[in-house]
Structure formats: structure tokens, C-alpha cells
Chain A
């Protein structure tokens, strides 16, 4: 078949064309534009002044902003660690089930994700109220005598992030555990290793792809989720996401907001590069 000329290229153009054009217009070009803007100055009325400057990036080094970045990273790190601690055993537990019921248990993990995340976060808020369920429960058990002030603390934001992210951690972990060659575990045990050693030396290395995938899918979004501190932090917990959002929707300092977004993006790319050392991008279970 003649593959040259417009007739040969037509199938490729019709199929891959739309998505390519779409990605170029709506993803690649805007990101390049954000990158450029991050080196511009802020105009007097909130516009963009086309003067090249590094100021937006040096501004990020101010203690005020460094503190916010540090806190965001810390909370994202804790969220990721908690997701692994909670998600890995659950994924393992589901993977032990026969395929049919495993699918049901996985579905049960995913259903909450299909409800409105804000209402769910607000429910977490209700649980933490001074006369909310958690405080009443602890007081009934005489563990505490006074209600604990949960509201608008970093801990509440962490709970919110965890509520929002946990389902995403279970999926990649599950698929890597499920794919693992189970006979390796038996072999390790037959050769005299106890459960801990087997887990450390066989199970974890075998499921590394899923673990790093989980870290990626939890850590990166947790940094940028501004709705979580907004609902659970009551304006008292400022994270990078909220900071960026405010630059665009409130204080109108787009170049500064762009510089923070670029910083976020480059740290994401750095993490991706680390990921590609243990797993393939195509195998990242995002869905």
C-alpha cells in the first residue's frame, strides 16, 4: 500500500490529530506561557509588565513563603506516609481475595471518591467540632475531660488530605501486589526467612513500582489541593495551593503565582524522573 502522500497520512491525522492539537493548545503552550510569565514583573493594576526579572523566584526565598512551602511539603509527606501505612495493608488484604470479591472490595474503596469531595471534607470538619462525634466519643470514654480543639489545625488538614487521597493510593498498590509472583513468598519462607524478612526482601522490592506510583499520585496532588485547607483550615492554615490561588484570584500578582506554579511543576518532573527509574510511565495505574 502506498504510504506516502496525503492519503497515506490521513488515518494518522484523523486519529492522532485531534488529541495532539488539543494537547498542544491546551496543555503545552499554556505551560510555556506560564513559564515565561514567571519571569515577568507585575503591572501596576495587576496586569503583566513585560520586563524580565528573577524577582518572583527570589521572593519565594522570603521566610514567610519558605515557611508555607515547608509546611505544604511536610503535610504532603505525612499524607503520603499515612496513605502507604493505611493503603498498603488494605491493598494487600484485597489482593488476597479471589478476583471477583477483590473487585467488589476495590469498588468499595472507590465509591466515596464519586461523592462530592467538598461535602466529604466538610463532614470531616463536623467530626472534629468541639461537640462533634470524636470529642463526644473520647469524653464518653473518659479519655479526655475537655473537648480537644481539632478545628482549623494542621492535623485536621492532614485528615482532610488523607480522606481525599487514600483511594488513589490503594489502586496502584493493589495492582502491583496483585501482579506479584506469589511463589516468591513461598520460596523465601521455604528457604527459612521469617515473615518480616520475606516482606522486607521480597514483597517490598517486588511491589516497588506500585509504592513509588502511590507516592507520586498522592504527594504531588496533596501539595496543590487548596480546597482542603480552605474547608478544614478555616483560613488559618496557609499552604502553597492557597497561596498560588490567591495570587490569581485575589491579589492579582500573576507572575509571582506563575513562579510558584513552575516550582511545583519542576518538582513534579523531578519526582517523575525518579519514578521512571523503578517503573514505566505506561504502567502507572492512574485509573
Chain B
């Protein structure tokens, strides 16, 4: 009897603990999402200065789609992000393979300097790149921004890919070469297909790092052409207009849609691959 009561007391306490932790988690999720909710709500605000709520309107979306200079900056951001993603994924994936499989001079130095762009404050990278461009007489602008973005994206790609590769079965590659394929053939027909999930997630990482970067880009963009985040930073002092909110809302909507589609595709693929497994066995 005594034992039972003690047990039920423990159970009750456990249940209470669970409820408290659920509430705590909800509060933190609210903290994370309130600014985003505000951002979305104020994209429908009928006031230019956007300091307080006046009334509902969709005119900022209309304005956005009837020609806005913001698209130009978004385009710049996209071009930089796509280029930086492609190049850093190529360099980073090759680098991850090289760093995992081969021994060479300076390997230790390279291995540790991979973590420099990841860990040092971005502002230090920003000024060091600005100084590099200045001493090399390299003009500031979008090409300089792209090079800077590759510099901080590629190490992330190496780290992600290395993590994926360390879990990979290398004997498949050896088998391919034993069966007469050369290194290049093996690379494209065996290694790359195995790497696809890692490639996708590192490309996603590189893209998101690049598209939202403001600290480093602000140093190397120069005065003329710039990316969307840097443009927004320069607009913030005057107060952001609702059209910026509208654009950001559209961007997050596209992102969420992308995630959903990705999930669906992955689920479909999983189903299909499971089907093939069944037919094989």
C-alpha cells in the first residue's frame, strides 16, 4: 500500500514535470517566433513608417510586384549565393576527401585553419578580407563579395562532408577499382552518388550562410552594388518600410514551401528505395 502510494506520487510528480517542461518549451518557441510573426503582420500594415499598427493593406505586396528596387538587391544576393554555393561545395567536397584520405605537407595547418572562418568573429574575417583586397588592388563589389562568401562557406562544406564520409563504406570504392574502373570513373559513378545527401545538406548550409550574411559583405561590397542584407542594414537607420517586410515574408514562405516539398520528395524516395530493397531480397 505504502509502496503504491509512493509510486503514484512519483508518477504524479513526473507528469507535473512533463507539463512544466512543455510550457517552458512553448515559451521559448514563442520567443523565437514572435519577431517573425511581427515581421509578417507588419508587412500588411497600412503605414509607411511602420512604427505602429494602422490597418490592413496588401498594397506593399502590390508595390513590390509593380517594380521595386529591392528585387535588384535580391537578385545580387541570389547570384552571389548560387555562385558561392556551387564553388564552395566543389572545393569543400574535394577538400574533405583529400583531408580524409591523403597525407601531405601542412595537413595539420589546413585542418586547423578550417575552423578559423567558422569560429573567429565574422568581423575579423570581414576586415582581413577588406585589407587583402586593398593590398591586391582587387576592386570591391560583387566578385569580391562572392570570393568572401566562398571563404566562409567552404570550411562548413568540408566539415559536413567529412562527417558524412567518415560514416561511408569505402570498400565499395575499392571494389569498383578492383573491377577495373579508374579513379575518375569510380569518383563519378560510385563516390558522387553516395555523397548526394551530404552534398545537398552542405549546399543548403552554404546557401543560407551566404544569402543572409551582412557582417562580412558590408566590408567588401563597396559603395555601388550590394546585396539585400547590406541594403537593408543601410535602410534600418531610417526605419524599414513595410515593403521590406513583404519581401522577407515572401522569402520565408518560399523557404517553408521548399522544406515541405523536400520532405515529400524524400518520403517518396524512401518509399521507392524500400520497394527496390524488397524486390531484391
Contact = CB atoms under 8 A, between A and B. Distances in A.
B245 A119 contact: yes
B257 interface: no
A257 B123 CA distance: 11
Interface stretch (A52-60, A62-70, A178-186, A241-249): A241-249
B32 A112 contact: yes
Contacts of A132: 52
Contacts of B29: 90, 108-109
Nearest to A248: B127
B91 A93 contact: no
Nearest to B113: A23
B35 A22 contact: no
Question: Mostly helix, strand, loop or mixed at chain B's interface?
Answer: helix
A122 interface: yes
A89 interface: yes
Interface stretch (B58-66, B128-136, B270-278): B128-136
Contacts of B34: 123, 127
Given A17-B98, A19-B91, A223 B229 contact: no
B76 interface: no
Contact of B123 (A20, A92, A195, A241): A241
A115 B212 CA distance: 8
Contact of A264 (B39, B123, B251): B123
Contacts of A78: none
Nearest to B52: A131
A188 interface: no
Interface in B83-125: 90-92, 94-95, 97-99, 101-104, 106-107, 109-110, 112-125
Which has the most chain B C-beta neighbours within 10 Å: A94, A119, A265, A284? A119
Interface of A: 9, 11-20, 22-31, 33-34, 37, 86, 89-90, 92-94, 107-109, 111-124, 126-127, 129, 131-133, 162-163, 166-167, 195, 216, 220-221, 223-227, 230-231, 235, 241, 244-245, 248-249, 254, 257-258, 261, 264-265, 268, 272, 281-282, 284, 286-287
29 contacts: A12-B103, A16-B98, A20-B106, A22-B150, A26-B132, A28-B113, A30-B131, A31-B124, A33-B128, A34-B124, A34-B131, A92-B21, A93-B21, A111-B259, A114-B252, A114-B255, A115-B39, A115-B251, A117-B229, A118-B232, A122-B236, A123-B35, A129-B52, A163-B35, A231-B236, A235-B237, A265-B120, A272-B119, A282-B162
Interface of B: 17, 21-22, 24-25, 28-29, 31-36, 38-39, 42, 50-52, 90-92, 94-95, 97-99, 101-104, 106-107, 109-110, 112-125, 127-132, 135, 147-148, 150-151, 154-156, 158-160, 162, 183, 205, 208, 212, 214-215, 218-219, 228-229, 232-233, 236-237, 240, 244-245, 248, 251-252, 255-256, 259
